[in-house]
Amino acid sequence: MSCKFNFSAGPAILPREVLTKAQSELLDCNGTGMSVMEMSHRGKEYAPIIKNAELKFKKLMNVPKNYKILFLQGGAVTQNFMVPMNLLNNRTASYVISGYWSKRTFTDAQPFLGANIAASSESINFSKAPNIDSWRYKKDDAYIHFCLNETVQGVEYFDDPNIKNVPIVCDMSSTILSRPIDVSRYGVIYAGAQKNIGPSGLTILIVRDDLLDFADKKTPSTLNWKIQSENNSMINTPASYGIYIAGLVFDWLFEQGGLGSIEKNNLKKSNYLYDFIDSTDFYINNVDVLNRSRMNVVFNIYNDDLTSEFLIGAEKNGLFGLKGHRIIGGASSLNI
Ligand SMILES: *Cc1c(COP(=O)(O)O)cnc(C)c1O
């Protein structure tokens, strides 16, 4: 069987060891005589699977005790309206716009009223993330939203904001688990699973428990963080197989030495690529060196006429998923 080098941002490549283990357990998981896909999510066979995923995730991320983990659905983009529904409570909120995804988050929050722009780097084509010190927000904002790593533009923040008076809500879809972060600096962290965690269909959310009391009364139960939290993410059927695969990925991350080792590896890989890109006049990357993503190394070919030829040549050599996001085109090396 031949395997391709898959650089797609998401759904993204999963560790071979995880896929092999899932394959070996596909028809009979742990002597239950059932596939995980066939198990009742409320049964005794499934209980240790979701528990393992939750415990390992908390341990990997060093999640403090006063935070809840939710296994949700609808992808990261569904949080664009779940965040205001669960937190706004007739107040205002401030949004940092540092690329395609955070701009979309802000746009989706508009119908809720009260969403303001804290900072934006759109005028400089998102080549640098707005400095945390320059974010403008109100002391009585319900929250400040930002995206830690802009997948499409390859722009990443490397500092966890140290803002105490307003809760920080962060989209970490494409950088979660790639390095240690200080969860206590955040009120809410969420991520669609298909970039860095597991298969699509699962969204993981970490929420500080004092933030569970602000949901709009009209929030449906499946979208209400507090109700989901009180029901162990099972107010309806969760993405049970995705949670199982996520658990296997967490086990694998521990085998690699945890997030500290993973970070070293990611630094090595991304530095290798950026050093090479900078050493040529063939490839270019215009992102400020302080914000160059370690997860999504975006590059263009100086002579854009050669881009399609580059992509054809790459595929012939087994390198897939190098095409840039449909909104910006070009070539880009994604999810290394
Ligand atoms: C991919 C991505 C999303 C969209 O995720 P869905 O799960 O498809 O909704 C949102 N934010 C970031 C940063 C992403 O990389």
Q: Indicate whether 143 belongs to any domain.
A: yes
**Ligand 1: distance of its center to the CA of 118 in Å?**
21
Report pLDDT for 240: 98
Question: Which residue in the list 56, 58, 68, 101 is annotated as catalytic?
Answer: 101
Q: Indicate whether 293 belongs to any domain.
A: yes
**Ligand 1: distance of its center to the CA of 176 in Å?**
12
Beta-carbon contacts of 325 under 8 Å, excluding residues fewer than 6 positions away, are 9, 100, 151, 152, 332
The DSSP bridge partners found for residue 72 are: 203
Domain that holds residue 163: 24-255
CB 177 within 8 A of CB 335: no
- Checking DSSP bridges between strand 115-120 and strand 93-97, what pairing results, if any? parallel
Say yes or no: 78 and 223 in one domain: yes
Which of these, 227, 203, 234, lies nearest to 77 by C-alpha position?
Answer: 203
Q: Indicate whether 136 belongs to any domain.
A: yes
The DSSP bridge partners found for residue 145 are: 95, 169
Task: Determine the Cα angle at 123 with ends 118 and 125, to 5°.
Answer: 110
**Ligand 1: distance of its center to the CA of 82 in Å?**
14
Beta-carbon contacts of 284 under 8 Å, excluding residues fewer than 6 positions away, are 277, 299, 300, 301, 302
213 is catalytic: no
Pick from 96, 174, 203 the residue to mutate for probing ligand 1's pocket: most ligand atoms within 8 Å of its CB.
174
Q: How far apart are CA 336 and CA 327, in angstroms?
A: 20
Task: Determine the Cα angle at 160 with ends 154 and 164, to 5°.
Answer: 140
Neighbours of 51 (CB within 10 A): 12
56 is catalytic: no
Task: Give SS3 for 65.
Answer: coil
> How many structural domains does the chain have?
2
Say yes or no: 204 and 274 in one domain: no
**Ligand 1: distance of its center to the CA of 78 in Å?**
9
Instruction: Point out the domain boundary residue: 220, 255, 290.
Output: 255
Q: How far apart are CA 334 and CA 8, in angstroms?
A: 6
CATH number at residue 303: 3.90.1150.10
CB 310 within 8 A of CB 302: no
The backbone region for 144, taken as left when phi is positive above 0, alpha when psi lies in -120 to 50, beta otherwise, is: beta
Asked if residue 103 has its Cβ within 6 Å of ligand 1, the reply is no
Asked if residue 145 has its Cβ within 6 Å of ligand 1, the reply is no
**Ligand 1: distance of its center to the CA of 150 in Å?**
9
Which of these, 290, 289, 266, 70, lies nearest to 178 by C-alpha position?
Answer: 266
Pick from 98, 151, 197, 205 the residue to mutate for probing ligand 1's pocket: most ligand atoms within 8 Å of its CB.
151
Amino acid identity of 226? K
Instruction: Point out the domain boundary residue: 255, 288, 306.
Output: 255
Asked, as a colleague might, if the bond just before 11 is cis with ω within 30 of 0, I would say: yes
Report pLDDT for 10: 87
Say yes or no: 263 and 181 in one domain: no
Ligand 1 atom nearest the C-alpha of 150 is: 13
CATH number at residue 145: 3.40.640.10
Say yes or no: 304 and 320 in one domain: yes
Q: How far apart are CA 32 and CA 48, in angstroms?
A: 12
Q: Indicate whether 310 belongs to any domain.
A: yes
Q: How far apart are CA 287 and CA 176, in angstroms?
A: 20
Q: Indicate whether 230 belongs to any domain.
A: yes
Asked if residue 75 has its Cβ within 6 Å of ligand 1, the reply is yes
Question: Which residue in the list 171, 225, 226, 323 is annotated as catalytic?
Answer: 171
Q: Indicate whether 166 belongs to any domain.
A: yes
Say yes or no: 78 and 184 in one domain: yes
Beta-carbon contacts of 165 under 8 Å, excluding residues fewer than 6 positions away, are 139
Say yes or no: 181 and 270 in one domain: no
195 is catalytic: yes
CB 84 within 8 A of CB 132: no
Ligand 1 atom nearest the C-alpha of 101 is: 11
Report pLDDT for 2: 63
Q: Which residue's C-alpha comes closest to atom 7 of ligand 1?
A: 75
Say yes or no: 246 and 279 in one domain: no
pLDDT in tens, the chain (336 residues): 567 889 888 899 999 999 999 999 999 999 999 999 999 999 999 999 999 999 999 999 999 999 999 999 999 999 999 999 999 999 999 999 999 999 999 999 999 989 999 999 999 999 999 999 999 999 999 999 999 999 999 999 999 999 999 999 999 999 999 999 999 999 999 999 999 999 999 999 999 999 999 999 999 999 999 999 999 999 999 999 999 999 999 999 999 999 999 999 999 999 999 999 999 999 999 999 999 999 999 998 888 888 889 889 989 999 988 887 665 655 565 455
Q: Indicate whether 19 belongs to any domain.
A: no
Pick from 8, 101, 146 the residue to mutate for probing ligand 1's pocket: most ligand atoms within 8 Å of its CB.
101
Say yes or no: 105 and 167 in one domain: yes
Q: How far apart are CA 106 and CA 109, in angstroms?
A: 5
Which uninterrupted H or E stretch holds 107? helix 100-109
Amino acid identity of 290? L
Task: Determine the Cα angle at 152 with ends 147 and 158, to 5°.
Answer: 40
Say yes or no: 163 and 302 in one domain: no
Say yes or no: 190 and 56 in one domain: yes
Say yes or no: 207 and 292 in one domain: no
Asked if residue 156 has its Cβ within 6 Å of ligand 1, the reply is no
Total number of residues shown for the chain: 336
**Ligand 1: distance of its center to the CA of 126 in Å?**
17
Say yes or no: 223 and 295 in one domain: no
Instruction: Point out the domain boundary residue: 208, 240, 255.
Output: 255
Ligand 1 atom nearest the C-alpha of 10 is: 1
Asked if residue 151 has its Cβ within 6 Å of ligand 1, the reply is yes
Asked if residue 300 has its Cβ within 6 Å of ligand 1, the reply is no
Q: Indicate whether 318 belongs to any domain.
A: yes
Residue with tokens 């560790």: 15
